[in-house]
Amino acid sequence: MDLNHYLSGKVSLNQYAHRIAQNGASFQVHYWGVMPTHLDNLLHKHSFFEICYVVDGIGLYVDDDQTYPLQKNTIFFSRPEVTHQIKSEDGLFLLYVGFELIESESSEDWVRRIEEAKSCSKVVIYEKDDTNILLLWQSLLIQATKHKFAFFNDILTNLASSLIFSLLQTFVPYSIKDDYKIHPETTSLLINTATLHIKDNLSDSLKLADVARHLHISGRHLSRMFVSELGLNYSEYVQNERLQKAAELLKSTDMSIKDIAEETGFTSVYYFTRVFTSKFRSSPGRFRSLYSNVKTTIFNNDTISSI
- The whole-number pLDDT of residue 96 equals 96
- The whole-number pLDDT of residue 130 equals 66
How would you label 246-274 residue by residue, b for 16+ Cβ within 10 Å and e otherwise? Answer: bbbbbbeeeeebeebbbbbbbeebeebbe
Whole-number Å distance between alpha carbons of 296 and 291? 8
- CB 82, CB 66: distance < 8 Å: no
- The whole-number pLDDT of residue 65 equals 87
Q: Which CATH architecture has domain 189-305?
A: Orthogonal Bundle (1.10)
Q: Which residues of the chain have pLDDT under 70?
A: 1, 130, 174-187, 293-307
- The whole-number pLDDT of residue 176 equals 42
The domain defined by 3-177 folds into Jelly Rolls (2.60.120)
Q: What share of the chain is helix, strand, coil (3-state, %, to 5)?
A: 50, 20, 35
- The whole-number pLDDT of residue 2 equals 74
- The whole-number pLDDT of residue 305 equals 41
3-state secondary structure 196-261: HHHHHCCCCCCCHHHHHHHCCCCHHHHHHHHHHHHCCCHHHHHHHHHHHHHHHHHHHCCCCHHHHH
Q: Where are the domains of the chain?
A: 3-177, 189-305
Whole-number Å distance between alpha carbons of 76 and 61? 8
- CB 77, CB 171: distance < 8 Å: yes
Q: Report the alpha-carbon angle 211-212-217, nearest 5.
A: 155
pTM recorded for the entire structure = 0.65
- The whole-number pLDDT of residue 4 equals 81
How would you label 205-234 residue by residue, b for 16+ Cβ within 10 Å and e otherwise? Answer: ebebeebbeebeeeeeebeebbeebbeeeb
